[in-house]
Structure 1
Amino acid sequence: MRQLKSWFKGNKGFVFFLFGMVLVRSAVADWYGVPSGSMYPTLMIGDRIVTDRLAYDVKLPFTDVIVTSLADPQRGDIVTFTSPEDGVRLVKRVVGLPGDVVEMRGEELVVNGEKAVYAPAAGEVAARVAPDYTGQQLVLTEQILGQRHPIIVMPQRPALRSFGPVTVPPGEYLMLGDNRDASKDSRYIGFVRRELITGQVKRVAFSLDTDRYFLPRLERFGTALATP
């Protein structure tokens, strides 16, 4: 015990620094590495994303208990949340809000009776396909209810391309990955309760290309993820 006290006395500043970092990550802001292609072409494998944990709610540190609500998640937001299936941290896009009626028919999204409009993506994003799949990938722009963002579909890959219509329950949200045929989202894990949402992803801090010896993707450093 004396040795422990002596060690703490000699490293007190370091211990408080570590505690502060853990507290900040639990209550204010957090950062994660993107390990899979489920959010291509928006997020790439090797991106390091920053999550604003105060975007929607103030929570007790290290818990899902909401102290006060600051704002409501909006359709099109990219969020991190705890999977209701197994507790794994996931990042997806909010597609259905409480009370929305959502369905998908052969990959085409319908929300509250409005059908999404699809067109081939243009510019740099059109070439940003997932590196962990060798089959056909189509990069499209999906526009619905005033929101527009790119998605990927993989026609040759087995996937759940139709569901619903379903009504999103009060206090819950429907999440989809932008890489529609390679994402474990609300089609498989169900709706996500608000208290399980851990924050909003607003930008990429930095990015490393895992297929090129972790060389930095300088063009993605500090990239904002606002809906175009």
Structure 2
Amino acid sequence: MKNFVRNNKGFLAFLVLFGVFRTAVADWNPIPSASMHPNLLEGDVVLVNRMAFDLKVPLTDMVLARMGEPARGDIVTFRSPKDGTLLIKRLVALPGDTVEMRNERLYINGKGANYDMVAESLDSIQGATLRALQLSESIEGGKGQRRHIQVLPDVVAPRTFGPLRVPDGEYLMLGDNRDNSADSRVIGLVPRKLLIGRAERVLVSADYQGNWMPRTERFGMSLYRPN
């Protein structure tokens, strides 16, 4: 073992530094589910800036320094407060915000979001093909101001909640696929210490549910394009 370490010091040092980089600076995460349709697809691999919010001791939640503040509209990776699962959702409400949803329409601090129809398409849940409506949602103070979301009018989903005031140090997350997402309506609010980083762009993408062909048009795509 000593000989192996001695003969491979450079390679082992590279592995250690690579691990530190992925756990403290930047990472890439595959998208496993439909909860962020239409903006993120299964088979996308996204680049995550782990230093966007906090500099942490690698492999821990111990914060060494605050690097920036999460913003309404950020796409964020975090650990579920319910079971520790790695999730990616849209940050919708900040500490101090009062958030409410009434029959799918989102309200932040008493102001309702505005919606415009973008397209009607099909999506699937557990093998069932369903009608999907893609909408442009505009919320005052959100990153990029306007984004696309998706609703599934033919499924049973939690379309109404609140009003709820978000406590200090916590955040409310929603999936862009509003009627097919286990987000803060299921797992609760997310403490800052569980935030991992901000997803910035799609690195690569492949249709792994179909023919495994690369979706080259998504390579390098920013997640905050104007809609």
Verify: 1:57 aligned to 2:54, yes or no.
yes
Deviates more, 1:66-75 or 1:206-215: 206-215
5+ residue gaps, structure 1, are none
CA contact (8 A) 2:123 2:130 kept: no
Q: Out of 22, 25, 45, which is 1:25 matched to?
A: 22
Q: Deviations over 1:67-91 (max 9, x none)?
A: 1112110000001001000001100
Q: State the partner residue of 1:37.
A: 34
Q: State the partner residue of 2:181.
A: 183
Higher helix share: 1
Verify: 1:205 aligned to 2:203, yes or no.
yes
Q: TM-score, normalised by structure 1?
A: 0.93
Verify: 1:78 aligned to 2:75, yes or no.
yes
Does the residue aligned with 1:181 lie in a helix, a strand or coil? coil
The Cα of 1:118 is off from its aligned counterpart by 0.8
- Equivalent residue pairs, number: 221
Verify: 1:159 aligned to 2:157, yes or no.
yes
Verify: 1:15 aligned to 2:12, yes or no.
yes
Verify: 1:193 aligned to 2:188, yes or no.
no
Q: State the partner residue of 1:148.
A: 146
The Cα of 1:135 is off from its aligned counterpart by 1.0
Q: Out of 68, 86, 90, which is 2:87 matched to?
A: 90
The Cα of 1:212 is off from its aligned counterpart by 3.1
Which letter maps to 2:184?
Answer: S
Q: Out of 213, 216, 226, which is 2:214 matched to?
A: 216
Q: Out of 139, 143, 166, which is 2:134 matched to?
A: 139
Q: Out of 104, 110, 121, which is 2:118 matched to?
A: 121
Q: State the partner residue of 2:99.
A: 102
What CA RMSD, in Å, does the superposition of the two structures yield over aligned residues? 1.4
Q: TM-score, normalised by structure 2?
A: 0.93
Cα distance in 2 between the residues matched to 1:161 and 1:131? 19
Verify: 1:68 aligned to 2:65, yes or no.
yes
Cα distance in 2 between the residues matched to 1:21 and 1:214? 28
Cα distance in 2 between the residues matched to 1:210 and 1:188? 28
The Cα of 1:130 is off from its aligned counterpart by 4.1
Q: Deviations over 1:140-190 (max 9, x none)?
A: 111111421100101111211100000000011000000001101000111
5+ residue gaps, structure 2, are none
Cα distance in 2 between the residues matched to 1:40 and 1:31? 19
Q: Deviations over 1:120-140 (max 9, x none)?
A: 126xxx65x645551111111
CA contact (8 A) 1:40 1:130 kept: no
